[in-house]
Each structure stands twice: as structure tokens, then as C-alpha cells.
Amino acid sequence: MFSVEVRDRIMIAHSLPDPFFGPAQALHGATFVVDAAFFSEALNEHNVVVDIGAAAAALHDALAPLAYQNLDALPQFSRVLTTTEFLCKHIFDQLAEAARTGALGTDGHGLARLRVTLHETDLARATYEGPLL
């Protein structure tokens, strides 16, 4: 399987209001390094998985509505624990939609899988990976 991976970053604020999260229950900031990997069984006629510029733009567009936001104040996250794992899936869904709707060009229709990884620090990260249907 072939893959192309692009990277971006995002700064957010949020709280995780459940005793399970200890001190992270309080409002705090996070800066995530975000990796998105696009997988294909075969290369296209240009011998690439997907245009790397289109992949980088799609990742940037998926992150833009979250950048410098307090996630607790966004209606789509009302009463949601916006954990790192949850945010991986949210970004995955945005990129999957970009592939389905042509934001990655025709190459997006040939993608088999997608993986989104959010690095909280150099010591901790979370990932969501799945097929693109």
C-alpha cells in the first residue's frame, strides 16, 4: 500500500469536564501537530497517491474552523468531551468528505484509507485510521 502524509498544526482551547480527566477538567490550551496520511493500493497515472498540495490544503481547510477557538464554545461540540482521540475522528471525517467531494481532485476517489494523528507532545499522540468508502 502506498501513502502520502502531510502535516499541519493547530492551537485550541477546551476543557474536559469529567473527574476522569483530573486537572484537564479546567479550561486549558493545546497545540497539536496534525499528520494526515492518505493510502492507496496503486499509484495514479502520474505515479502519485494524491497531489500533495491538494492534501495539504484539505488538511488546512479541515483545521481552519478549529484554529484559535475555544472548542467548548462551538455549537457542534456542545457537551462533547473533545479529547485528542475525538478530534482525530472529527478531522478524519472532514478529510473523508474532502475526498468524496473532489477537494483532492480525481485522485481522492481512489484512496483506500486515511489516518489522522494528533501529537499532543513529543511523548503522547492519538490516531484514528479507517477505510474511505
Q: What are the tens digits of pLDDT across the range 82-101?
A: 999 999 999 999 999 999 99
pLDDT given at position 74: 98
Residue 14, all three cell numbers: 477546551
Share of residues in the chain with pLDDT > 70 (%): 99
pLDDT given at position 35: 98
Round to whole Å and give the CA distance between 117 and 3.
Answer: 14
> What order of strands is seen across the sheet that includes strand 2-14?
69-70, 2-14, 28-40, 113-119, 125-131
Q: What is the mean pLDDT of residues 32-56?
A: 95
Helix axes 52-63, 84-101, angle to 10 degrees: 130
Taking the model in full, what pTM does it have?
0.95
- 107, pLDDT greater than 90: no
Cα distances from 108 to residues 39, 53, 97, 115, in angstroms, run 10, 13, 10, 14
